[in-house]
Structure 1
């Protein structure tokens, strides 16, 4: 039996923010603080 690890799996490109396309479409920032928060939720954004 071969152990599988998350790092062995291919990385999906352009993952939707919030987990799925519908959620990503509903996320809308009203001010700069919310924009920063949404950037932290983006799975494709590099870590700080």
Structure 2
């Protein structure tokens, strides 16, 4: 039982620190120098990560 819970906790922690699919659009928007677009993309990524 504790081995199962430990493996679930480990997988959960791994998923929390792995970048998701939202990282690519955020990095592409920030690369050309569009600061406002990059700000809103980062805000969206942060909002999704917090929920």
Q: Pick the TM interval, shorter chain.
A: 0.3 to 0.5
Q: Find the structure with the greater CA-based Rg.
A: 2
Relative to the length of structure 2, the TM-score reads 0.32
Relative to the length of structure 1, the TM-score reads 0.33
Bigger proportion of residues as helix: 2
Higher relative contact order (CA 8 A, sep 6+): 1
